[in-house]
Amino acid sequence: MPRSAPRTDLADCTATELLRLYQRGEASPVEATRAVLDRIHALNPQLKAFCLVAEESALQAARDSEARWQKFLRGGPHCGELDGVPVSIKDLILTRGMPTLRGSHTVEVKQPWDVDAPVTARLREAGAVILGKTSTPEFGCKGETNSPRTGITRNPWDIAKTPGGSSGGAAAAVASGMGPLAVGTDGAGSVRIPAAFCGNFGLKPSFGRVPAYPLSPFGSVAHLGPHSRSVSDAALMMNVLKKPDARDWTSLPPDNSDYLQGLEDGIRGLRIAWSPTLGYAKNVNPEVARSVAQAVAQLSELGAHVEQIDPGFDDPLEITTGLWFAGAWTVWNTLSPAQQALTDPDFRAEALLGEKFSLLDIQRLHLQRGALGSQMRQFMQRFDLLVTPSVAVPAFEARPAGHTPMDPVAMLGWTPFSYPFNLTQQPASTVPCGLTSDGLPIGLQFVGPMFGDALVLRASRAYEAVRGGNVDFSRPVTLPR
């Protein structure tokens, strides 16, 4: 393909930058894929972001994409929306031709892998280059990424720290240049926690906005969403991921809007509720609190009407973990005794906690969840957006599975801002807004009204465009290049 030499390492380019280079003939999908694979070979042994790298099929997909771009440059048809962009898939999501082992020794590798989940199918149709599967804790069961099957995944900003979870492999991959885009899942914060810990942008869309199949055994708290280095990349990816799929009976009606349109419209005049603690978070790290407050001040400077106010609900931790433990107990009962003996001690502990809930207990949790959802729908009639810290703490030590006795506080007590909005199903994002004195990323969370995904992206982009400081969140400083 005729071109001038790229001016940067292609592994450090965003998806938007790669597509621009392809359109100009200044780089090719094969070059970009090889650059990313080289980065994976160099860094993945240490970070363990990928549990499977499909090098041969990725290069073939890149060659096919390159042929399409060559035709485009000769006046042929337009290429796919993500044609030639390297993408990774979390190892909870079905991917044709690749095992989906769910971070577990209980899944049989030797079986047909001939089905794409909706998100995987849409990415292939858009021409994306699927690099492989990213690491997850067993069944996505916690906010750290460690498992007996894949070991400990590490944070590119400090390899002694966790990238968070359960989409920790996806976040670590994007942060370290092992692909500009990744698909994660979020059942209690599992996109937003690792995106915040790794200095990425992450989006949990409105429930049903991105179709899922098969549906999560953990129920309607589970969302699928993008990890990216920029808000624009996430909007571009969402245009693909939100396309319909009849296999998901809970999915929303098709949304044919373009999330890139209006992305730069800013937030002037928007009504923003600012809640530093949601009224109950008692242990927010002072550096996190300070950095997020400074970011909120910038929202006012952008013309938003910011009011400090709490939504007025009590900590719903017991609702979240009760429903989650019940889901773990459900999965546990699909396993044979021999398989149960192979499980992660954290998952095993969650399942056994779930055993203690009666049918009446679960029904009461659902009723409490419904009341919370109704309360937030009413609260959001007064405000366009709610902003909070993304996570109450920066990334903590990377630890092995089973390091701490499992209970609700150990599981999620340190991330009080994430799980409420899985219960309410609202769209929520995390945008990096600063670094701690130890050089660890801090995240700012935007929560939108139900179905306000485009608004969450627009507000995230408005803040991203004016974010202060000289931190380049696309290049963690601890990693060799």
Selected catalytic residue, list 65, 88, 90, 204: 90
pLDDT of residue 417: 99
Q: Across all residues in the chain, what is the average pLDDT?
A: 96
**C-alpha neighbours within 13 Å on the C-beta side of residue 152:** 14
Domain that holds residue 114: 10-466
Selected catalytic residue, list 88, 147, 176, 190: 190
Domain count across the chain: 1
476 within some domain: no
99-119 pLDDT, tens digit each: 999 999 999 999 999 999 999
pLDDT of residue 474: 67
Evaluate whether 134 touches 170 at the Cβ level (below 8 Å): yes
Residues 6 or more apart whose Cβ sits within 8 Å of residue 79:
22, 65, 68, 69, 72, 127
Return the closest-CA partner of residue 385 out of 416, 412, 421.
421
Token pair for residue 115? 């089905």
Return the closest-CA partner of residue 431 out of 195, 180, 189.
195
Mean pLDDT of 374-395: 98
Mean pLDDT of 265-271: 98
pLDDT of residue 241: 98
Ranges assigned E (strand) in 338-478 = 385-389, 428-435, 441-447
Q: Residue 150's pLDDT band (boundaries 50, 70, 90)?
A: very high
* Minimum mean pLDDT range among 170-179, 245-254, 316-325, 462-471: 462-471
Mean pLDDT of 432-444: 98
37 within some domain: yes
pLDDT of residue 1: 39
- Indicate whether 478 pLDDT > 70: no
- Indicate whether 455 pLDDT > 70: yes
62 within some domain: yes
473 within some domain: no
- Indicate whether 89 pLDDT > 50: yes
Q: Which amino acid is at 479?
A: L
Please state, as a whole number, how many other Cβ atoms lie within 10 Å of the Cβ of residue 413. 16
214 within some domain: yes
1 within some domain: no
Q: For strand 428-435 and strand 201-204, is the pairing parallel, antiparallel, or unpaired? A: antiparallel
Q: Which amino acid is at 475?
A: R
| Percent of residues, the chain, with pLDDT higher than 70 | 96
Ranges assigned E (strand) in 258-325 = 271-274, 305-308
**C-alpha neighbours within 13 Å on the C-beta side of residue 2:** 4
Give the CA-trace dihedral at 172, 440, 229, 122, to 10 degrees.
40
pLDDT of residue 3: 43
Residue 216 is a catalytic residue: no
Evaluate whether 461 touches 231 at the Cβ level (below 8 Å): yes
Token pair for residue 238? 């969402």
- Indicate whether 6 pLDDT > 60: no
Mean pLDDT of 46-57: 98
Ranges assigned E (strand) in 114-163 = 129-134, 146-147, 151-152
The domain spanning residue 292 has which CATH number? 3.90.1300.10
4 within some domain: no
Q: Residue 479's pLDDT band (boundaries 50, 70, 90)?
A: low
Selected catalytic residue, list 166, 176, 429, 460: 166
Q: Give the three-class secondary structure for 271.
A: strand
Mean pLDDT of 51-75: 98
Residue 474 is a catalytic residue: no
212 within some domain: yes
Residue 166 is a catalytic residue: yes
Q: Which amino acid is at 409?
A: V
Mean pLDDT of 154-162: 98
Give the CA-trace dihedral at 410, 414, 417, 420, to 10 degrees.
10
Report the alpha-carbon distance of residue 404 to residue 442 in Å, rounded.
Answer: 24
- Indicate whether 416 pLDDT > 60: yes
